[in-house]
Amino acid sequence: MELQQHLGHPHPLVFHPEMNHQSEETICCFGCKRKGKGPNFSCSECGFFLHKGCAEAPIEIQHHPFHRDHPLILRQLSSIEEQGGDYCKVCHCYIGEQFSYCCSSCKIAFHLKCSLLQRDTSGNFIEILHRTHQHPLLLMDNQNFLLKYRECFGCSTELVNDSYGCFDCNIFFHKKCVELPIKISHPYHRKHQLILESDFRFCNLCQVSHSGLFYRCSICNLDFHSECLPPSVIKDKKHHEHPFTLLLRPNSFTCDACDTQGDNVSYICSTCNIQVHKDCISLPRFIRLTLHRHPLSRNFFLSIHFHDSRTWDCRICYKKINMEHGSYCCSRPNCEFVIHVKCAISWENKFWYDITELENPDEFKELDESGNLIFRVLRETKVGDNVVAAEIIHSSHDQHSLTFNDEINDNKHCNGCIMPISSSFYYCSCCDFFLHKACAELPRRTLLWFPQSSFRLLTDGIFKCWLCDYDCSGFSYKTANGLVVCLRCATTPHNFTYQAKEPHYLFYDAENVSNCSACGRRRDRKGSYICKDCNFVLNSGCVTLPKTARHNFDEHPLKLVYEDNNDYPLHHWCDICEKERDSKFWFYHCKVCDNAMHPKCILGEYPFIKLGSKYKYKGHPHPLSFIQKIDYHPLCEKCREPCQDLSLECEEHGCNFVGHWKCLRVFSEVYSYHH
């Protein structure tokens, strides 16, 4: 089928009943500038493309509801400015390079999609009169530009399906809201009938005032928003096998699904003998979250699921779970993971733990990390009863092999996590390159407990960790949309026991804004690790502080101390910066010399950027490396001050470029410095 010379197009257009999936994302209709979907006409010679509806749009429209005085003429791009202006008279958006309907007499124009309203079998525009509005309401399909980003006047929710609208008043209604009955009898108010009206009213059910459709009893002077009146019966077999029946009682109740209080309106399932909120009826039966690798199933009574009387803590908030009310628990046998329903449906938690609904637990697929390692074993050896790789080639350092060593060497730092070598490790005999055994064995792709579905391991680059906010070198995990975390944060679990002055069982609370017990600082976002049993709090930066450290100021290893019990006031000073220390906060201490120092004075402003790391700065043609000048301090290329702290120096022989990292990082175009 061919359509010859549509609106002066020089080539024939060929009809296609369907669009292939690849073209849907790359081709836009020349008529409405929307993605190519469904039946269409296209030109094989020049790529001209039109939706079937746009291609078959009438050349002229008489008595259009938007402009009844004159006919509207379909025009191509070349005629828009001379015939009707640049902006649509209806939605007030720019028309640009697309078709429009124009009135040459009045010099006005309308988008093609704004103009194509639905018609009846006789070809007339579909208009209705409604008792809540003084003007006729026009039926519009959900593709109309007018409905974009608008809300229904009746129920204040987004317009996603076919709707009715009044162009003069700029008011729109869902089709289902317009079709509400004018008079109803409802069990919530049995005395009199309720009449549908439209106004600004206070709802006697939700206790909120707003404009919209509401049902009114003029005799009792009662008003109910139309969306607040609960239906008598709800059947939702997707989420529960039995129907729920409305129960109206003037008292409070505890919801069997979410274990929170409700008032007046509830629904009961007489078969299961449960009473729930209306919104809890649609709770998903199965969910998945990044915090746990198995699917979770909804249970109304936890005691029946586990067949015992033990008490359980929610694995998100670590508060007790009521055994007689709802929860989500692991659907796998012998797995004792349980969370509150209210924690599962929290918007904050949905972001942090990537909580999503599953239609069926069988659709849950775990990430396969087998064959996902980034090293190759050259030689094995036996250490105790275990066989370990004695020599490997690692993708982060493939120019030389790495040799296994199980002697602790805290003078060196791991090139992966940038922490002191505190356990068995691999080292390069040719270079100053070290990797903890645990860092070397990290998978290429993995799931972490915080947001996003999958993280990919990167083994080079300079970046800012999304969680602890430190600038870092070394290994990181990154998502497809750019979220980057350092290895210290990536390998710190959601919940664990932290050994400070006494052991604390910590878990991550995304909403916590308390002051950190280690440094006293407060985080206004991203939460903190908190103790389930006391007020002990650690932010993500302090929870990964090394237990031991070294500094040129003292020749001995320095130990992280959690409280200063020395009451002598002159003892509460930092021996490096000579400023006062708060005895409540953590510090590094040398037991031999009795030196006490702030963590920041020991670790520096950028403790997790390893000296010698490479960096490609866009403002300089040569590669740069991180240095800390000791003997002399050249001037920074940006601020012209001496480079006394962490700096970058050009590796090119004869090039004297040098600059503070704090200066050069400001001029970087992005906040994640991977290259």
Kindly indicate the confidence band of residue 27, based on its pLDDT and cuts at 50, 70 and 90: confident
Where does 98-208 show beta strands of DSSP type E?
A: 100-103, 108-111, 127-128, 137-140, 163-166, 171-174, 183-186, 189-202
Instruction: Give the distance, in angstroms, between the CA of residue 78 and the centroid of all CA atoms in the same chain.
Output: 43
625-654 average pLDDT score: 87
> Above 60 in pLDDT, residue 658?
yes
3-state secondary structure 575-638: CCCCCECCCCCCEEEECCCCEEECHHHHHCCCCECCCCCEECCCCCCCCEEEECCCCCCCECCC
Structure tokens at 201: 């009213």
Structure tokens at 484: 């980057």
What ranges in 414-516 are assigned the alpha helix state H?
Answer: 437-440, 487-490
Q: Which residues contact 371 (CB under 8 A, 6 or more apart)?
A: none
- Per-residue model confidence (pLDDT) at position 671: 40
- Per-residue model confidence (pLDDT) at position 195: 92
* Residues 459-515: tens digit of each pLDDT: 988 899 988 889 999 999 998 888 899 999 999 999 999 999 899 999 998 888 889
- Per-residue model confidence (pLDDT) at position 604: 87
Q: Which residues contact 586 (CB under 8 A, 6 or more apart)?
A: 518, 519, 542, 545, 560, 561, 562, 599
Mean pLDDT of the chain: 84
Query: What gap in Å lies between CA 463 and CA 488, rounded to an integer?
Result: 13
Structure tokens at 3: 């359509």
Residue whose entry in the numeric block shows the structure tokens 């800012």: 464
3-state secondary structure 430-442: CCCCEEEHHHHCC
Query: What gap in Å lies between CA 198 and CA 377, rounded to an integer?
Result: 75
What's the predicted TM-score (pTM) here? 0.68
Q: Using only C-alpha atoms, what is the Rg of the chain?
A: 34
> Above 70 in pLDDT, residue 438?
yes
Structure tokens at 463: 């970046």
Structure tokens at 80: 């828009």
Among 251, 253, 252, 304, CA closest to 274: 253
* Residues 183-207: tens digit of each pLDDT: 988 887 888 999 999 888 888 877 7
- Cα distances from 365 to residues 295, 345, 361, 448, 450, in angstroms, run 9, 22, 9, 15, 18
